[in-house]
Every structure is written in structure tokens, then in C-alpha cells.
Homo-oligomer: A and B are copies of this chain.
Amino acid sequence: MNTRDRLIESTRTLLWERGYVGTSPKSIQQLAGVGQGSMYHHFSGKEELARAAIDRTAEEIGAAADAQLSVPGGAVERIAAYLRRERDVLKGCPIGRLTQDPDVMAAPVLREPVEETFTWLRTRLASVVTEGVDAGELSPAIDPAATASAIVATLQGGYVLARAADDARPFEQAIEGILALLGAYSAR
């Protein structure tokens, strides 16, 4: 991997572990095994580097979610596959955690990819719910947008519960809890 990529990867790791406020240029350089001058040659500073790191993570997250939600099968089945896929639960969501970072939310350039990721994810899930209604799998009484928001929120909040408990089980409970509720809302 070249120097530029190593800097981006180090930044991704540190943003995930410590957030933007908690990540210093020095720590990025040390993790990447790169000197100061090298970092400032490739990037104007911490912000530009963070943007590159967030973009890369957002793209990965989006591609993975899209893949899970696009496999053949029913709507609930695909949502379950997405929610149940293997995750680093105790580390939390690398994009979701950025919403708690005041400097990220204050900088439009950093905030933009975070906003886009969640807007896209809610829209994508709402489509899957609508497909379930159209296929006669889910009740027409369901509100796709509200249900999609509830699903994404359960995922994000599940990370919060797991980190608070230092235990992945509350996350798994939350996922199984919402899936059970969703199953009960099947068309009957």
C-alpha cells in the first residue's frame, strides 16, 4: 500500500476508535508509519484526510448494505439478513459514531457523507418494505418510511446498548426484538 493509502487507512481506524476530536495528526502518522511532512504533502490537514477516510468507509458500508438487501428472497428475509450479518458490535458503527462528534457535525465537508449515508440507507430500506407490501408479504397498513427509520435506528441504538453494557447481547436482543415485531406485521 502506498503512503497516501496508509494514511487514509490509519485515519479510518482512528476515527472509528476515537472519533475526530480524539484523533490527532500525530497518532495518524505514527499508525501509518509516516512522517509529518509526508502527511502534509498528501493532504492539506486533518480535515481533508478525515474526509477521504469517511468517504471510503461510507462507500464500503453502503455497498455492503446494498448487497445484503439485494439478494433474492422476501423483504423480511432480506432485512433480517442485513440486520444479522456479522458485525464488530462493540466497536460500533464507524459512520454512526461520527454523528456524536461536534467538530464533524460543524464542518459541512465532514458532515455531508454522514448525512448521505443515512439518507440513502433509510430510503433503500423503505423500498424493501414497499416491495414487501407489493408482494403481499407485509400489511398495506405499514408505513415504509417510518418502518425503515425504526429499523436503522434499532441497529444504531443497538450499538449504543452493546457499548454501554460492554456486551454484544443487548445488540442481538434489539435486532431479534425488531425482527419479531416486523414478523408480526405480516399481511394476514
- Seen from chain A, the residues whose Cβ lies within 8 Å of a Cβ on chain B are 17-19, 21-22, 92, 96-97, 99-103, 105, 111, 114-115, 117-119, 122, 139, 142-143, 145-158, 160-161, 163-166, 170-171, 173-178, 180-182, 184-185
- What are the 4 closest A-B residue pairs judged by CB atoms, nearest first? A150-B177, A153-B157, A157-B157, A156-B157
Nearest-neighbour CB distance to chain B for A61, whole angstroms, equals 12
A selection of 9 A-B contacts at a CB cut-off of 8 Å is A17-B102, A19-B100, A21-B21, A115-B165, A146-B174, A147-B177, A149-B173, A149-B177, A153-B171
A interface: dominant SS: helix
With A21-B22, A97-B100, A147-B180 known, 14 other A-B pairs at CB within 8 A are: A19-B21, A22-B102, A96-B164, A99-B163, A115-B164, A115-B165, A115-B166, A118-B164, A139-B184, A146-B173, A148-B177, A150-B181, A154-B157, A178-B181
How far, in whole Å, are A180 and B165 apart by their CA atoms in the complex? Answer: 28
The residue in chain B whose Cβ has the minimal distance to the Cβ of A117 is: B164
